[in-house]
Chains A and B, each alone.
Chain A
């Protein structure tokens, strides 16, 4: 497992390395500094997200400036621009979170999609090169998505997605941590879940809260929420309760240094063989449905970091067949 994690990390590094050296043709000669290596700043990246949304709502890819060989995946299946949600969209909800990474020309996005009044929790990653979109990767967590009952089919839904000022706040320069540290915090979160020994490989803010598909699944203030959901992010993972997640695979990261946010793509594989789990405190738990069968979560997960600690987590996930590879990662094994 460690080897796979290292390989995934290496893939991520290779990807970033590739992005980092892609020249911003118009400006590269005049402004060779690394900070200006991208031709598309925050406003530019956000503008492409907005153009993408307008083009989808219009069912017309030509309204989005894109390269001739632009790639599109929807729920981890590669298809042509113009297919899938492009054909069924009836616009968007008002919830919008942008995660801008001008250094790599990437932008992450959280929102709500609308198909004939059926709302879905939505997340996307776009890549922009030379002022054209070259990559579009989306997850549409539709209300009728398949999967084991009680797994990805959380009850919250898009109605619970309200603007969180945290996600649009710039962090003071003095309180920021480096790009590498931001990635390490998000990556460490996945390593903590994958290993599940109770040992933490990341750092949490005490107020850390996690939302998944519109349901608060850690630090939930609702007294009627389940006991696990009421626990904090750190307390949950210190129990070692997530052993049924047998692998957090193919991790990729988009990094917003200014807002101290990381937008991660990953898979949680559950191989269905972990039927008993001994927690850190010695308690033995029997693991039943929905973790008694092989299946995988396809995930986009946003981490907001404050002062070098994970303060807020927001995930969009869909159930996919066990061990489904990513069209964006060459070698999953």
Chain B
């Protein structure tokens, strides 16, 4: 890990602690300028979530001045390098109403998925942070808005499934690499069109940008729709053949305690398949004829080695676009 220096804020000396919790936060976000053997340099779950909350509050306040940002902090929004203060930092307009956190103290990374207003209209927001020595060195935001080509339905996201905040009993946890392998198998299965090697729980469900896209009988009125099926059965239909490449997968946050893996990446569709044959022999005509890409942030809940639930932000991107990382 590269050690980066942070810009010291005046806030460090001005903070007056009003409670033990505030004291803890103040210590967590304002390390001493010089090495102090008595300072707790670790940043645990509460510390990481505190950083996430501060960043999101700063976005809504259009004011990043009190954030403990590293001098060379890097910010991207929807894959583009921006200055902090530009983009969503200038248009966010309120507090989050739907919040899911995943924390990886070992890697110093944390992710947030939620709903925030932007100039009054709700959008789905994902934020990834990297924190080193209590300074924020990386901020990556993806904003999914309701617009042409977008599937985002932020109004559907009201209360997160409590499973994401539940601690997995130690005996039911898997190693970090095992958790990555499980999440990775999901993407491989979509690319390959068979799901036998993916350890789905029988009750696995998936939400994408606010839309429940498995076991959703309400959206499955069309007999050709796969949305009424479960996580595994959908893939087995070979319905995902237009997903030609799941690219640039970054397993950014491994939350061992809660069994969460947060992945960033892209689903490329080269649009060379004009029609394709499903596992049951039916032929499906592709409606999109030009290549396109989905920019995704996808979270997996893993318990006893099985994928219990998947929740994703899916943004329509430009074919082949890069992440900025």
A residues apposed to B, CB below 8 Å: 74-79, 83-85, 87-88, 115-118, 120, 140, 142, 144-149, 153, 271-273, 275, 289-290, 292-294, 318, 320-325, 333
Contact status of A87 and B272, CB under 8 A, knowing A271-B90, A273-B90, A323-B87: yes
CB atoms of B291 and A88 under 8 A apart:
yes
A140/B148 in contact, CB under 8 A: no
Given A147-B148, A148-B147, A153-B148, answer yes or no on A293-B80 (Cβ-Cβ < 8 Å): no
Q: Would B318 and A77 count as touching, CB distance under 8 A?
A: yes
Q: Assess whether B119 is in contact with A292, with CB atoms less than 8 Å apart.
A: yes
Q: Of residues 86 to 139 in B, which have CB atoms within 8 Å of A's CB atoms?
A: 86-88, 90-91, 118-121, 123
Partner of A321, one of B77, B148, B270, B288: B77
Interface centre among A144, A148, A321 (most CB of B within 10 A): A321
Question: Known contacts being A120-B290, A323-B80, is A79 close to B320, with CB within 8 Å?
Answer: yes
Complex CA–CA separation, A75 to B319 (angstroms): 8
Evaluate contact between A271 and B86: CB separation under 8 angstroms. yes
Alpha-carbon separation in the docked complex, A86 to B298 (Å): 30
Whether B249 sits at the interface, judged by CB under 8 Å, is: no
Q: Is the CB of A74 within 8 A of B319?
A: yes
Residues of B within 8 A of A87 (CB): 270-272, 291
| Nearest Cβ on chain A to B43's Cβ, whole angstroms | 30
The verdict on A322 contacting B320 (CB below 8 Å), with A146-B148, A271-B87, A292-B91 known, is no
A-B complex: 9 closest residue pairs judged by Cβ atoms:
A146-B149, A116-B289, A321-B78, A146-B316, A115-B289, A292-B119, A77-B320, A272-B91, A142-B290
Q: Which residues of B contact A318 (CB under 8 A)?
A: 318
Q: CB-CB < 8 A to A144: which residues of B?
A: 149, 288, 290, 292
Determine whether the beta carbon of B289 is less than 8 Å from that of A290. no
CB pair B288 A322 closer than 8 Å? no
Q: What residues on B are CB-neighbors of A75 within 8 Å?
A: 318-319
Q: Whole-angstrom distance between the alpha carbons of A77 and B293 in the complex?
A: 11
Q: Give the CA-CA distance A83 to B82 in the complex, in Å.
A: 28
Chain B positions within 8 Å of A320 at CB level: 318
B59 to chain A, nearest CB (A): 12
- Report if B7 contacts A (CB, 8 A): no
Q: Contacting A148 at CB < 8 Å: which of B80, B148, B271?
A: B148
B148 touches A149 (CB 8 A): yes
Q: Which A residues touch B148, using CB under 8 A? A: 145-149, 153
A-B contact pairs, 29 of them (CB 8 A): A74-B320, A75-B319, A77-B320, A78-B320, A83-B270, A85-B290, A88-B291, A115-B290, A118-B290, A142-B290, A144-B149, A144-B288, A146-B148, A146-B149, A147-B147, A149-B148, A292-B91, A293-B118, A293-B123, A294-B91, A321-B77, A321-B78, A321-B79, A321-B321, A322-B77, A322-B78, A323-B81, A324-B80, A333-B81
Give the residue name and chain of the B residue nearest to A291 (CB).
Answer: B119
In angstroms, Cα B292 to Cα A85, docked, is 11
In this assembly, does B230 line the interface, its C-beta being within 8 Å of a C-beta of chain A? no
B119 touches which of A77, A140, A146, A275 (Cβ 8 Å): A275
Contacts A88-B270, A148-B148, A325-B80 given; indicate if A272 touches B289 (C-beta within 8 A): no
CB distance from B113 to the nearest CB of A (A): 19
Q: Which of B270, B290, B322 contacts A140 (CB 8 A)?
A: B290
Closest to B293 in A: A77
Cα–Cα, bound, A238→B224 (Å): 54
The reply to whether the CB of B317 lies closer than 8 angstroms to some CB of chain A is yes
In the assembled complex, the Cα of A87 lies from the Cα of B322 at a distance in Å of 20
Task: Check if A272 sits within 8 Å of B147, measured CB to CB.
Answer: no
The answer, yes or no, to whether B258 is at the interface (CB within 8 Å) is no
Chain A residues, Cβ within 8 Å of B289: 88, 115-118
Q: How far does the alpha carbon of A294 sit from the alpha carbon of B318 in the complex, in Å?
A: 16
- Report the bound CA distance from A272 to B317 in whole Å: 19
B319 x A84 contact (CB < 8 A): yes
Question: Beyond the given A77-B318, A77-B322, could you list 19 further A-B residue pairs with CB under 8 A, ordered by the A residue number?
Answer: A76-B318, A77-B321, A83-B291, A88-B272, A115-B290, A116-B289, A117-B289, A144-B149, A144-B292, A145-B148, A153-B148, A271-B87, A272-B87, A275-B119, A292-B119, A293-B119, A322-B86, A323-B80, A325-B81
B309 in the interface (beta carbon within 8 A): no
Report chain B residues within 8 Å CB of A142: 290
Residue of B nearest to A73 (CB): B320
| B28 → chain A closest CB, angstroms | 31
CB of B176 within 8 Å of the partner chain: no
The closest CB in chain A to the CB of B88 belongs to A294
Q: Is the CB of A322 within 8 A of B82?
A: yes
| Contact A293–B272 (Cβ < 8 Å) | no
With known contacts A85-B290, A325-B80, A292–B121 Cβ distance under 8 A? yes
Chain A: minimal CB distance from B316 (Å): 4
Residues of chain A within 8 A (CB-CB) of B274 are: 116
B177-194 residues with Cβ-Cβ distance < 8 A to A are: none
Residue of A nearest to B321 (CB): A77
Per-residue A-contact encoding for B290-311, CB less than 8 Å = 1, 0 else: 1110000000000000000000
**Min CB gap A285→B, angstroms:** 16
CB-defined contacts of B6 to chain A, threshold 8 Å: none
